[in-house]
Amino acid sequence: MRLNRLTIYGFGKFHDRTFQLTAGLNVLLGPNEAGKSTLTQFISAIFFGFPTKKHPELRYEPLDGSRFGGEIAFTLAGTDYLLSRVDGPRGGKVTLRNTTLDLTLPAATLPRLMAPVDAQLFKNVYAMNEPQLGTVFAASKQELVDRLRHVGAVGSDFWLHQARQLDRAADEVYKPQGRKPALNQLLQEHAELTAKLEKANAGYASYWDLLQRQQQRRQQQTDLQRQLAVQRQIAGQYDRQLALWPVYQQWRKLAATPESTHRGFQQRDATALERLTNQAKATRASQQADQDQLAGLQEQQQLDPLFQDYLLVSAQVDPLIVQLPDITIAERERQRLQTDQADLQRRASEIEQQYATHGQMPRAFSLVTTQQVRQLTSNLSLATQKRRRLQQQLNQLNERYRQQQPTRQQRKNPLADKQIGWLAAGLIVLVGSMFLPATLFKLAGALLGVAVGYYGVFIVDSSTPASRQQQSLEDDIRDVQAQLRETSQVIEQVTRQLDDIGDAHGLGDISVDQWAAAQTAIVTWDRLTQRLEAGTAQLATATQTVTDFKAAIQRVLPRMTVTNMGDLTTQLKDLQVTQQRLQSQESDVAAIAARLKRDQLAVDRAQQAVTTFLQTRNVRSTDAFYRQYQQVREQGNRLSQRDALAQQMGDQQLAALQRVTDRATLVQQATTATSQVTKFQRQLDTVTEALATGAGQLVHLTASGTQATLRQQLANLETRMQALTQDWLVDRLVSQWIAATLAAASGDRLPQIVKTASQFYDKLTENRYTEIELTPTTLRVRRTDGAWRLVSQLSRGTAEQLDLAVKLAFAVVMAERVAMPVVIDDGFVNFDDQRRRAAYRLLATISADVQVILLTADPVVTDELTTENLIRLTD
């Protein structure tokens, strides 16, 4: 943009004044108060509007009352415009004309036309004066960048404004270092809440601790309760034992009582005895009564004494009477036996008289002997018969022989006679020799006798003369005789045998013929004697029976005459008859008698029972029993008392007490146990209390809800924080987005500006400072020697030169987009002469690219600058 002409209607000290400007460097020279600042302000006011009336010092209203305002003719992008502004609302009334096309444009076109330059940018960059240059002290990259963007794109001022708004809004939400912004506060709140929650979370550990402790304590409680119960029981035990101690002592005393060894002296025994004696007494009494009654009756009846006796013992007598028939039979039997015995005795005596020659009965044959005898007897008879036959034969033969030789018979006879004689002689000699003195004679005599006998029988006989006939006869006779002899010998032998037998059996005196009869008699005798013996035994039995009976009768009825059985029987029968008579005639007496009988029986039984009772208990009398019983009962009492005590104490207690040595120990134990109970109870109380406390704490922890509330609060807070953060981020992002977009639209000219500024600064400081560096927060410069200097370290003048360099560089670099003239109003007052000249030279240089309007009071400028357009304001 190039300003061609300034026409002032009325502004500050100027009115109706026109300044023609050229494209390059325009120098407006004038002393103080010549209106240099007014002109600068005029350019700003026409382009960007009059300041509000709140700041009248900035309005430069004309002092002389002429029309406020003016016009500027300028060329922009090859088109000429005429802009006029006069006093009016909102910065003044604007009239804009496109003079090239002769078009009047709406006032709103102006900012767009001017864009991106606005009052701010103009003031900050293009309108330079001493105070403005001072702003370098606040300059930073951001400011520069903002200015860059400001001029970088169309409409960027709006966006920059928005971006700033967003940033401001964002700063209100959050500043990384801040405290006040909402998000910072929330963060703070979050930290506090988190701390609170953490504190509350500590409850979690406590909860588990409590829970665990609760579990342990419950276990402990159960244990203690069990222990306590046990201990209580023990203590109670001891207490009971203590309470029972006197009882125990008593029990111990009683314990000395020996156990009763006698049996059968119990209460029931005594009762039994009582019953028995009572029974006996009662029966005796009733018997007595009956007897009295009977006596009375008897007195009435005039009974004989025997019967009276009988009545008393009828029980014993009656069985005897019942036995009477048997006894009678026995008596008869006895008598019969006696008779039999006498008979048998007689017969035996007869036989004895007959056979017992020597006072001794021959013995009976045995069977063998009988057979032998029979054999021998038959042999004998045979032999005898034979001999008789032989004798007859012989006799015949002898007859015949005598017929033939009768002498012979004669001769023979003497022989035969002689034989006996010999024998007799021998016998006589034998017997006679016995009377001889001296044994030798006797023996010789006996031998002689035998020899004589032998001679007579055998030798004499053998010398018998015989003829032939005679001889045969004689032989026959001899033969027969021999046979006869033989037979006789047999007979003799047999006879001898028989004799032997007879001798052996005492039958010597009896002929063999009678033996059979004798044998029969002997057998009969034997039988008789046997029967006699048997009879004697029977008789003895019977007699005994009878005698016994008599004795029995005698015993029970002493009055009874018992000598004669018949009398006895009669008497007994009489008794029976009497009794029967009494029974039939007088039932009373009978009844009484019967009763008496029963009474007697009962008395006997009772007495017997008592006796048995006493005997089984090995005592003599009831008194003895009672003594014993009393003793036993006392023992029993003591025992039962002891038992009662034992029961009172109980088995266990008793056993426990028995283990106790003495009371002191027991007391000691009881005390210990009680104190133990107290201890356990205390522990239990402690645990229970702790449990209750723990439960309370648990309930508190569980129910407080602090954690949950805090957590929810935190969650809500975080939601808010997130929302705020999002807001903040969005604001910042949009701001960044705008900036980025503007940067993109404006292109990145910053490095170029910095580079150019460095060159300008180099020139301005006459090569003292060679480089400018823009840091995010500030500017710094490098000296020729390489040392860096911050703006704050620079002298005021050097700092202002830096600002000038940057601003000029900006103007130059941005000229292709914004050809805004640079208006410098006495900007170099703090420059030394050298540098001021350098500045002028620089301005001259840049005026090739940028229109420069230099307002100055310094006349040196004319030496330094060869300008086409020098306007002296004083003109």
Task: Give the footprint of other proteins on this chain (CB under 8 A).
Answer: 153-156, 158-159, 162, 174, 176, 183, 187, 190, 201, 203-205, 207-208, 211-212, 215, 698, 701-702, 705, 707-709, 711-712, 714-716, 718-723, 725-727, 729-734, 736-745
- Residue (of 257, 863, 285, 865) closest to 600 by Cα position: 285
The least distance separating other proteins from the CB of residue 717, rounded to whole angstroms, comes to 8
Assign 76 to helix, strand or coil. Answer: strand
Q: What is the dihedral of CA 199, 204, 206, 211, to 10 degrees?
A: 160
The Cα–Cα gap between 597 and 317 comes to: 11
Q: Give the separation between CA 589 and CA 610, rounded to whole angstroms.
A: 30
Are the C-beta atoms of residues 462 and 454 closer than 8 Å to each other?
no
CB of 690 to other proteins, least distance (A): 16
What is the smallest separation between the CB atom of 212 and other proteins, expressed in angstroms? Answer: 5
Nearer to other proteins, 94 or 742 (CB): 742
Closer residue to other proteins, CB minimum distance, 349 or 712: 712
Query: Distance between CA 577 and CA 303 in Å, rounded?
Result: 13
* Smallest gap from residue 182 Cβ to other proteins (A): 10
Shortest spacing between CB 122 and other proteins, in angstroms: 20
- Spatial contact of 112 and 153, defined as CB atoms under 8 Å apart: no
CB of 145 to other proteins, least distance (A): 14
For the chain, how many helices (H) and strands (E)?
Answer: 26, 14
Q: Which is nearer to other proteins, 451 or 698 (CB)?
A: 698
Contacts of 351 (CB under 8 A, 6+ apart): 361, 521, 522, 524, 525, 528
Tally of CB atoms within 10 A around 19: 20
Which of 156, 433 has the CB closer to other proteins? Answer: 156
Closer of 157 and 352 to other proteins (Cβ): 157
DSSP string computed for 11-61: ETTEEEEEEE--SSEEEEE--TTSSHHHHHHHHHHHHH-PPPTT-HHHH--
Integer Cα distance of 201 and 183 in angstroms: 25
- d(C-alpha 83, C-alpha 7), whole Å: 10
Question: Whole-number minimum distance, CB 191 to other proteins, in Å?
Answer: 8
Question: Which residues, including other chains, have CB under 8 Å from residue 843's CB and lie 6 or more apart?
Answer: 25, 808, 822, 824, 852, 854, 865
Determine contact, residues 521/354, Cβ cutoff 8 Å: yes
Nearer to other proteins, 156 or 622 (CB): 156
Minimum distance from residue 60 beta carbon to other proteins (Å): 29
As given in the structure block, the two tokens for residue 824 are 């410098």
Strand, helix or coil at 74? strand
Minimum Å gap between C-beta 180 and other proteins is 16
**CB count, 10 Å around CB of 435?**
9
Q: CA-CA distance, 813 to 474, in Å (whole number)?
A: 235
CB 714, min distance to other proteins, A: 7
Minimum distance between the CB of residue 779 and other proteins, rounded to whole angstroms? 24
Strand (E) or helix (H) holding 187 = helix 182-255
CA gap 658, 674 in Å, rounded? 21
Contact 835, 765 (CB under 8 A): yes
The CB-of-741 to other proteins minimum distance in angstroms stands at 3
Nearer to other proteins, 206 or 676 (CB): 206
Q: Select 310 or 728, whichever has its Cβ closest to other proteins.
A: 728
Query: Least Å distance between CB 249 and other proteins?
Result: 55
Distance between CA 22 and CA 865 in Å, rounded? 15
Q: Closest CB to other proteins among 469 and 722?
A: 722
In sequence order, which residues have a C-beta less than 8 Å from that of residue 65 and are 6 or more positions away?
10
